[in-house]
Amino acid sequence: MASFTAIPSPLCLLVGLTALVGCSQSSEGISTNLNACLIVTEAEVELAIGTPVTPGLPQTDRQCLYQAKRNPQETVTVELNPGPDGDKKSLFHDQRSKVGHQPIPGVGDGAFTLRSPIGGIQLTFLKADALVTLSLSSPKQANAEAAMTTLAKVAATRLDGPLRAHPATATEPRPTTTASQWTGDWYGCLPVGMMYGKGHLALSEAGTWTLTTAVLMPGTVTADRGRWEAESYQEILHGTYQLAGSDRFSTTGVLSVTWEKLAKNQGPNKFDPLLWQSFDTSPRKMTVKRLTPVEPALVGTWEGSAKYVDRQEEFVWTITSANVSEFYKATIQTGRIEPEQNRFRLLIPQSKTPPLSVQVLAQDKLELTDTSGMVSQWHRNEKLLSRC
């Protein structure tokens, strides 16, 4: 049985805090029914990072994405989590004092930043009942902290005003769905921790479903004398490794997997092909501080699998001699569909995880609500995966 559990890095603690705060809904606070794309404007993002950006793209009502027009890989993400009570505010302030968290004065009711090992920065602040996280993915930003601080001050000031998005009308009639409306393949961008994953949802008329979620975690890697560690913006993985010829090795520890080497320019054998093709697999250039060398036998692109009771995971891992790591992870879940009033649930067999909820909005549009309550929109056009 494979194991894939992140160690509690500072970012993981922030993710946990975000999830905790997101569990409570305030009924009268400023964050109720507020859309994340209203917190800062396109012009304000452009002014902060110094380059033109696309209009805010709602990922959900709580998440909004801005992309640089010249380089879509340079992004600013706004995430809103409502309703911190007294205990959660105390937790926030405790996290702000942790090593690696840089307190930022003069923003809302408290703020701190976290830096990525590969460039970019996150700034999280409290304002009344709202917890807001601004994430900048650009490693080329000359003064990322100043840019995000400027943007955060604008956002905190705006939250003082009567900013309310128009929630969906509860009495608005929903179309009656038939099997032909929801069967087939759907594609969407869905939140995975503090980032977005590419999703492929297959619904069958026979009442079964398959959901594949894929993410890319670029970062650094060290591997020498039988020990390895990969560090990315999202997670830190580590353990031991053992070579088994020139085309196979195994890892233990946080990630227990047997890896098979892929030939040059060969695609993976098991990774969802549509999701794989939607990633930009061109080589990435990044400046890496001097690290322990990578054992030459591990340089290359590898694939591996892990099977759990309630899911299957497929991995592709590119390792370079320059300590660059690109780690792709696809999680596959399957189950049965159960109708529920004007929507239906996706049940996960042999799991205590709550079911996913699906509501069909139109012939080519549906909403998926995950186990944490986050809502994402899905379409039939796989080309929309490039936005994730």
DSSP 309-341: SS-EEEEEEEE-TTSEEEEEEEEEEEEEEEEET
Reported as a pLDDT band with limits 50, 70 and 90, residue 229 is very high
Residue 4 is predicted with a pLDDT of 35
- Other residues' Cβ atoms within 10 Å of the Cβ of residue 19: 14
Residue 146 is predicted with a pLDDT of 86
Residue 159 is predicted with a pLDDT of 81
pLDDT tens track for 86-97: 555 766 776 776
pLDDT tens track for 253-286: 888 999 999 998 899 999 999 999 999 766 566 6
> Mean pLDDT, the chain, as a whole number?
79
Residue 272 is predicted with a pLDDT of 95
Q: Tokens 């690290």 identify what position? A: 291
Q: Rounded to two decimals, what is the model's pTM?
A: 0.58
Whether residue 177 has pLDDT greater than 60: no
- The larger pLDDT score, comparing residue 219 to residue 115, is at 219
Residue 192 is predicted with a pLDDT of 73
Q: Which residues pair with 230 in a beta bridge?
A: 221, 237
- The larger pLDDT score, comparing residue 316 to residue 344, is at 316
Per 3-state DSSP, the chain is made up of helix, strand and coil in percentages (nearest 5) of 20, 40, 40
User: Nearest Cα to 355, choosing from 364, 367, 368, 342?
Assistant: 368
Q: Tokens 């090593």 identify what position? A: 99
Among 112-121, 148-157, 310-319, 327-336, the range scoring the smallest mean pLDDT is 112-121
Residue 110 is predicted with a pLDDT of 87
Whether residue 108 has pLDDT greater than 50: yes
pLDDT tens track for 46-71: 888 888 888 888 877 688 999 888 88
Average pLDDT of the residues in 159-182: 51
Average pLDDT of the residues in 17-29: 35
Residue 88 is predicted with a pLDDT of 58
Domains in the chain (CATH in brackets) are: 10-158 (3.40.1000), 180-388 (no CATH)
Q: Which amino acid is at 60?
A: T
